[in-house]
Amino acid sequence: DTGVSQDPRHKITKRGQNVTFRCDPISEHNRLYWYRQTLGQGPEFLTYFQNEAQLEKSRLLSDRFSAERPKGSFSTLEIQRTEQGDSAMYLCASSPPTSGRGNEQFFGPGTRLTVL
């Protein structure tokens, strides 16, 4: 299966620690998105890459958050000095460069972060 993969699937950390998540999109998908989903809510947009360029960042992405996609393939999302409010599911999605399919986004399984 060559779907979107995310690693790790679960992460438990203590407040104040740094964490990094990885997303591997479907190959040849040039668009990559990060979303955050808290309990009882729909996913909320965090940031968007087209190839290696980070084109948009949500106001939800505070200066403790940073994302990269160095070679236009996999992406990492780092959270520094984690807070309990960062506890959530972090979802990655990718979509192909041109699509007559309404820009369908393909989601990964997510990384569930718990900050103690």
Q: Name the minimum Å distance from CB 18 to other proteins.
A: 26
Q: Which residue has the tokens 């997510």?
A: 110
For the chain, the C-alpha Rg in angstroms (whole number) is 14
* 41 is a contact residue toward other proteins (CB under 8 A): yes
Of 31, 86, 111, 113, the residue at the interface with other proteins (CB under 8 A) is 31
Residue 19 in the binding site for other proteins (CB under 8 A): no
* Tally of CB atoms within 10 A around 71: 8
Asked whether the CA dihedral 57, 82, 22, 8 is positive or negative, the reply is negative
CA–CA separation, 76 vs 67, rounded Å? 6
Is 53 near other proteins (CB under 8 A)?
Answer: no
Residue list 54-93, contact with other proteins (CB under 8 A): 55-56, 91, 93
Q: Do residues 77 and 34 lie in contact, with contact meaning Cβ atoms separated by under 8 Å? A: yes
Residue 111 near other proteins by CB under 8 A: no
Residues near other proteins, by CB under 8 A:
3-4, 31, 33, 35, 40-45, 48, 55-56, 91, 93, 95, 101-110
